[in-house]
């Protein structure tokens, strides 16, 4: 039995379907991230877990028990919001003590828990400060302490770092990881930032248009994306458009505009001979070589442009039929610094790094 | 170059405020000084006007009535205005616009007309008494005019906008996510109201309450029409002293006491809510 079960959640606003058949089982202590663009249904799903919205259909079960009929304030769930939501009239310590006060805990216990929660987020000694006198990063740390002080079974985080600048964001991502490890709390984390998702999560659920496209660990999503959307959203990728020539047990053959054929490609989605399909290649998973290249996993290209980035170069390479794909050469590559515009070279890849996606 | 518009150093920008200062001096400081002077010089020099006002049971009852009515009006107004302001802040812009229209329309309607309307509604054979009797809540008509109940009802109605508007101002600025956070922290609706919403709305409540209380202290029309002669309030006393008895000293003393009470309340509010907006 899973710890938290998001069971077939569907939410309809008027005639807009915000989420549809969202199904997820989350283990105790897991760090699960909902990744997707805005409007993909990830926040709606989180709000339904929080109890701010009721689903049109489906159930949320915690340790096997439905929590849908429990109002927000009795769900005992912790949450850190996108906007700063500290109570502005209360000091840092009073903010963290708030959940304990409304639970009518005794004074000594409250003081002890508040002290430990502030130590956890490394704000010891700042208890007397007012929220308005703190930086955005500090305010989100206080919010985190306030959400964890009552030992909730689940912690929800709704893009908590989106208001912070990049450097601070990375610093607090570290803190969140550490706090997750120290407390072992189950976390549902919403973000549209794939880097943040990859850095933090045990598993990632990729949302698109109200549905989950794929659930898996970061490396799984990166190495074997189930859909074109996931391939596009997680990691960098180039898509070359072709046509399905035929399909066999080992994969599909794609034919490109100039007649080039590539065989035995794993085809995702409902492909059919004659239908359109895209070949996905990641810039850092393809190689550039002056030679002939690997049989069946290479293409002759012409160099369009070279962008030098210090420890790597990104090369725009044009295929024989005119589409452009990016190739990343990292430090140590024999061709780094050698490639010039107009060079005729070959790109090659490992068979498992090429994925074909049928277009609807 | 526009440098001649810029103050050359701190403090020398006072020149631009000079007309306003002169205006304040001519129309505020001078009259108040004259008022104070009259209250201690007429009919003869001394503090006897203040002694009479603060020493006799009759006049103390006038002060008592004034503070009782003003306090009740402030409290009732706040209780009604808070949910209205809350509704205005959370509802759709369309409905909020309609509600604002209703509130402002009542504010812009002639004061006398509104007070006479209340007289009609509240009198023994008025709509309210007849309705209550028809429903069977009462057998005898209630005495709702010519007493402080009538004054309170009439004044609450008139003062409502002055409480709703500042309250709306502060409530509108409260991020709804803060209340969601309170709920997830475990606060019931009542706890969220008491521990979060009310403290955050406090500056608005205070400025609305100050406005309503101070306006009520010196209000004349409604107490005069709905109150009757046996329940005099301070403004009526001043009018009586000046108009009927031509006792300027006494009227000035009463007005000056009113001013001092107002200033004390204002100072209190500034002290309690300094730097908290509104």
Q: Per-residue pLDDT tens for B224-235?
A: 888 877 788 999
Which CATH number is A4-227's, of 1.20.810.10, 3.40.50.300, 3.90.226.10, 1.10.10.1100?
3.40.50.300
Return the DSSP state at A301: E
pLDDT digits (tens, 9 = 90+) for A190-246: 999 999 999 999 999 999 999 999 999 999 999 889 999 999 999 889 999 999 998
SS3 call for A236: coil
Residues near A126 by beta carbon (within 8 Å), at least 6 away in sequence: A92, A118, A134, A138
SS3 call for A244: strand
The answer, yes or no, to whether residue A61 has pLDDT greater than 90, is yes
Rounded to the nearest angstrom, the minimum Cα separation between B110 and chain A is: 41
Q: Would an 8 Å CB–CB cutoff place A154 in contact with chain B?
A: no
Angstrom distance (rounded) from CA A207 to CA B185: 28
Angstrom distance (rounded) from CA A300 to CA A180: 48
Q: List phi, psi (to 5°) of B147.
A: -150, 180
Q: Choosing among A53, A82, A95, A102, which should be mutated to test the B contact, i.e. which has the most B CBs within 10 A? A: A102
Domain ranges of chain B: 50-273
**pLDDT computed for residue B1 by the predictor:** 44
The answer, yes or no, to whether residue A266 has pLDDT greater than 70, is yes
Number of C-beta neighbours around residue B212 at 10 A: 27
| Listed residue (B122, B123, B118) closest to B158, CA to CA | B118
Q: Choosing among B176, B185, B202, which should be mutated to test the A contact, i.e. which has the most A CBs within 10 A? A: B185
Which CATH number is A236-358's, of 2.170.190.11, 2.40.50.140, 2.102.10.10, 3.40.630.30?
2.40.50.140
The answer, yes or no, to whether residue B80 has pLDDT greater than 90, is yes
- Chain A residues within an 8 Å CB radius of B184: 50-51, 72-73, 75, 77-79, 147, 156
pLDDT digits (tens, 9 = 90+) for B161-217: 999 999 999 999 999 899 999 999 999 999 999 999 999 999 999 999 999 999 999
ipTM score: 0.82
Rounded to the nearest angstrom, the minimum Cα separation between A33 and chain B is: 20
- Chain B residues within an 8 Å CB radius of A101: 195
| Helices A107-120 and A136-148, packing angle to 10 deg | 130
**pLDDT computed for residue B270 by the predictor:** 86
- A vs B: CB pairs below 8 A: 71
Angstrom distance (rounded) from CA A47 to CA A55: 10
Out of B177, B185, B195, the one facing A146 most closely (by C-beta) is B185
**pLDDT computed for residue A36 by the predictor:** 95
Q: Please give the residue of chain B at the shortest CA–CA distance from A151.
A: B185
Output the six-digit token pair for A354: 């090429």
**pLDDT computed for residue B278 by the predictor:** 40
Cβ contact (<8 Å) for A102 and B185?
yes
- Give the pLDDT band (50/70/90) at residue A1: low
The answer, yes or no, to whether residue B14 has pLDDT greater than 80, is no
* Residue A118 · residue A182 · CB < 8 Å: no
Average pLDDT of chain B, as a whole number = 88
| Helices B93-108 and B57-90, packing angle to 10 deg | 150
Domain ranges of chain A: 4-227, 236-358
Q: What average pLDDT score do residues A336-344 get?
A: 87
The superfamily (CATH) of domain B50-273 is MetI-like (1.10.3720.10)
The answer, yes or no, to whether residue A270 has pLDDT greater than 90, is no
Q: Would an 8 Å CB–CB cutoff place A85 in contact with chain B?
A: yes
Could you tell me which residues are beta bridge partners of residue A355?
A280
Q: List phi, psi (to 5°) of B191.
A: -65, -40
Out of B175, B192, B200, the one facing A85 most closely (by C-beta) is B175
Q: Would an 8 Å CB–CB cutoff place B68 in contact with chain A?
A: no
Q: Please give the residue of chain B at the shortest CA–CA distance from A52.
A: B180
Portion of chain B with pLDDT greater than 90, in percent: 45
Rounded to the nearest angstrom, the minimum Cα separation between B88 and chain A is: 21
What does the buried/exposed string (b/e) look like for A65-99 if buried means 16 or more CB atoms within 10 Å of the residue's CB?
eebbeeebbebbbbbbbbbbbbbbbbbbbbbbbbb
Out of A72, A74, A88, the one facing B200 most closely (by C-beta) is A88
Out of A50, A89, A143, the one facing B200 most closely (by C-beta) is A89
Angstrom distance (rounded) from CA B44 to CA B247: 11
Q: What average pLDDT score do residues B14-40 get?
A: 88
* Residue A190 · residue A81 · CB < 8 Å: no
In sequence order, which ranges of A51-106 are alpha helices (DSSP H)?
92-102
Cβ contact (<8 Å) for B186 and A103?
yes
Rounded to the nearest angstrom, the minimum Cα separation between B264 and chain A is: 25
**pLDDT computed for residue A352 by the predictor:** 87
Q: Would an 8 Å CB–CB cutoff place B183 in contact with chain A?
A: yes
Out of B178, B186, B202, the one facing A73 most closely (by C-beta) is B186
Per the rule left: phi > 0, alpha: psi between -120 and 50, beta: everything else, B258 is: alpha
Out of B182, B184, B191, the one facing A50 most closely (by C-beta) is B184
Out of A51, A52, A99, the one facing B185 most closely (by C-beta) is A99
Q: Would an 8 Å CB–CB cutoff place A347 in contact with chain B?
A: no
Cβ contact (<8 Å) for B177 and A83?
yes
Query: A11: exposed, middle or buried (C-beta count within 10 Å: 0-12, 13-18, 19+)?
Result: buried
**pLDDT computed for residue B276 by the predictor:** 54
Q: Would an 8 Å CB–CB cutoff place A355 in contact with chain B?
A: no
Out of A51, A83, A146, the one facing B175 most closely (by C-beta) is A83
**pLDDT computed for residue A206 by the predictor:** 96
Torsion angle of C-alpha atoms A153, A155, A156, A158, degrees rounded to 10: 180
Q: Would an 8 Å CB–CB cutoff place A99 in contact with chain B?
A: yes
Cβ contact (<8 Å) for B178 and A85?
yes
**pLDDT computed for residue A259 by the predictor:** 87
**pLDDT computed for residue B215 by the predictor:** 92
**pLDDT computed for residue B12 by the predictor:** 57
Place of tokens 């044009």: A318
Number of C-beta neighbours around residue A141 at 10 A: 25
Out of B181, B189, B196, the one facing A81 most closely (by C-beta) is B181
Q: Please give the residue of chain A at the shortest CA–CA distance from B199.
A: A89
- Give the pLDDT band (50/70/90) at residue B11: low
Cβ contact (<8 Å) for B186 and A76?
yes
pLDDT digits (tens, 9 = 90+) for A163-204: 888 888 999 999 999 999 999 999 999 999 999 999 999 999
Angstrom distance (rounded) from CA B182 to CA A85: 9
Q: Per mean pLDDT, which range of A67-81, A85-99, A177-191, A291-305 is the poorest?
A: A291-305
Strand order of the β-sheet with A186-191 is A78-80, A154-158, A186-191, A31-35, A203-208, A211-216
pLDDT digits (tens, 9 = 90+) for B129-148: 999 999 988 888 888 888 88
**pLDDT computed for residue A359 by the predictor:** 85
Angstrom distance (rounded) from CA B125 to CA B136: 15
Q: Would an 8 Å CB–CB cutoff place A150 in contact with chain B?
A: yes
Cβ contact (<8 Å) for A87 and B188?
no
Cβ contact (<8 Å) for B180 and A52?
yes
Cα angle A331, A333, A337; round to 5? 80
Q: Would an 8 Å CB–CB cutoff place B205 in contact with chain A?
A: no
Cβ contact (<8 Å) for B184 and A147?
yes
Cβ contact (<8 Å) for A85 and B200?
no
- Chain B residues within an 8 Å CB radius of A132: none
- Give the pLDDT band (50/70/90) at residue B2: very low
Average pLDDT of chain A, as a whole number = 92
Rounded to the nearest angstrom, the minimum Cα separation between B85 and chain A is: 20
């Amino acid at each position: 039995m899973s710890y938290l079960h998001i069971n077939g959640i569907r939410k309809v606003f008027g005639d807009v379907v915000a989420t549809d058949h969202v199904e997820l089982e989350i283990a105790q202590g897991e760090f699960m991230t909902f990744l997707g663009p805005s409007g993909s249904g990830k926040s709606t799903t989180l709000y339904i877990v929080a109890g701010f919205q009721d689903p049109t259909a489906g159930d949320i079960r915690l340790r096997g028990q439905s929590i849908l009929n429990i109002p927000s304030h009795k769900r005992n769930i912790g949450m850190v919001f996108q906007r700063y939501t500290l109570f502005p009239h209360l000091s840092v310590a009073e903010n963290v003590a708030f959940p304990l006060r409304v639970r009518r805990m005794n004074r000594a216990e409250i003081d002890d828990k508040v002290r430990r929660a502030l130590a956890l987020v490394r704000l010891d000694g700042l208890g007397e400060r007012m929220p308005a006198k703190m930086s955005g990063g500090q305010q989100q740390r206080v919010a985190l302490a306030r959400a964890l002080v009552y030992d909730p079974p689940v912690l929800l985080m709704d893009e908590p770092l989106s208001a912070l600048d990049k450097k601070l964001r990375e610093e607090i991502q570290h803190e969140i990881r550490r706090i997750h490890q120290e407390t072992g709390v189950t976390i549902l984390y919403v973000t549209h930032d794939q880097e943040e998702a990859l850095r933090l999560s045990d598993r990632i659920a990729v949302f698109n248009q109200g549905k989950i496209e794929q659930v898996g660990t970061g490396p799984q999503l990166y190495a074997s994306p189930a859909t074109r959307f996931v391939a596009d959203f997680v990691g960098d990728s180039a898509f070359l458009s072709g046509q399905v020539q035929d399909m066999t047990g080992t994969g599909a053959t794609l034919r490109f505009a100039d007649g080039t054929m590539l065989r035995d490609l794993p085809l995702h989605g409902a492909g059919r001979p004659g239908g359109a399909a895209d070949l996905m290649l990641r810039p850092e998973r393809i190689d550039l070589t002056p030679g002939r290249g690997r049989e069946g996993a290479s293409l002759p290209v012409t160099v369009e442009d070279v962008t030098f980035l210090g420890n790597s170069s990104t090369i725009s390479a044009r295929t024989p039929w005119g589409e452009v794909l990016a190739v990343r050469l990292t430090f140590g590559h024999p061709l780094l610094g050698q490639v010039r515009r107009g060079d005729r070279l070959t790109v090659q890849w490992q068979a498992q790094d090429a994925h074909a996606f049928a277009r609807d | 170059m526009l440098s001649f518009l810029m103050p050359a150093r701190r403090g020398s920008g006072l020149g631009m405020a000079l007309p306003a200062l002169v205006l304040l001096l001519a129309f505020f400081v001078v009259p108040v000084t004259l008022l104070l002077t009259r209250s201690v010089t007429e009919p003869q020099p001394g503090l006897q006007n203040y002694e009479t006002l603060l020493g006799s049971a009759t006049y103390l009852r006038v002060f008592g009535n004034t503070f009782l009515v003003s306090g009740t009006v402030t409290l009732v107004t706040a209780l009604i205005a808070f949910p209205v302001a809350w509704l205005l802040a959370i509802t759709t812009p369309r409905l909020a616009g309609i509600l604002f229209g209703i509130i402002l329309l009542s504010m812009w309607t002639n004061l006398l007309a509104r007070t006479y309307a209340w007289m009609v509604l509240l009198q023994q054979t008025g709509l309210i008494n007849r309705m209550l009797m028809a429903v069977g809540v009462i057998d005898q008509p209630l005495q709702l005019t010519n007493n402080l109940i009538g004054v309170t009802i009439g004044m609450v109605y008139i003062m409502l906008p002055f409480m709703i508007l500042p309250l709306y101002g502060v409530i509108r600025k409260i991020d709804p996510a803060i209340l969601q956070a309170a709920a997830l922290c475990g606060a019931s609706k009542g706890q969220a109201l008491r521990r979060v919403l009310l403290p955050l709305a406090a500056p608005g409540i205070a400025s609305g309450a100050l406005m309503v209380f101070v306006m009520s202290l010196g209000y004349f029309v409604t107490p005069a029409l709905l109150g009757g002669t046996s329940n005099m309030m301070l403004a009526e006393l001043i009018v009586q002293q000046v108009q009927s008895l031509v006792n300027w000293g006494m009227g000035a003393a009463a007005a000056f006491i009113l001013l001092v009470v107002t200033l004390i309340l204002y100072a209190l509010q500034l002290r309690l809510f300094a730097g908290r907006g509104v």
